[in-house]
Amino acid sequence: MTKKTSLGLVILLTAISSCHQPERNCEDFKDGKFSFTASIDGEEQTTIFERKGGIEIDHFEGKSDTSSVRWINSCEYVVKKLNPKSMAEEKSIHMKILSTTKDSYTFEYRLVGSSSKSVGTAIRVE
């Protein structure tokens, strides 16, 4: 193989691999029941949440909270607690679905107005 052919092959493979976009079937995850596990103070904590239409109900440590869901586009939405119990709970959370699989989605989230972002994965449980 000549140097010219090798260089062309490398450029072609780089172009093909850089064009790969993650799967984003966000519509498949607008409604459903999901689990999300996060590390809180070094301990794994799991939240189960159900989303249907403009409502999301979170179940965490034996308590339930209801939030409104406002979709910005097919892959981004804002969640706001309907009955906040503290100033911290009054802040809305911006959610952005980054990629999807058959039964899960990876998302980025942050408090509205904050530049600090976190990433998580929600898994469909039903």
Let me know if domain 23-124 sits in CATH 2.40.128.20: yes
pLDDT at position 88: 85
Beta strands in 1-126 (DSSP E): 32-40, 43-52, 55-60, 63-73, 76-81, 93-100, 104-111, 118-124
pLDDT tens-digit map of 63-83: 999 999 999 999 999 999 999
Find out whether 109 and 93 touch, Cβ atoms under 8 Å. yes
φ and ψ at 117, to 5 degrees? -115, 150
Residue 4: predicted pLDDT? 54
* Band of residue 40 on the pLDDT scale cut at 50, 70, 90: confident
Name the pTM for this structure: 0.79
Hey, where are the domains in the chain? Answer: 23-124
- pLDDT tens-digit readout, 75-104: 999 999 999 989 888 999 999 999 999 999
∠ Cα 80 76 118 (to 5°)? 75
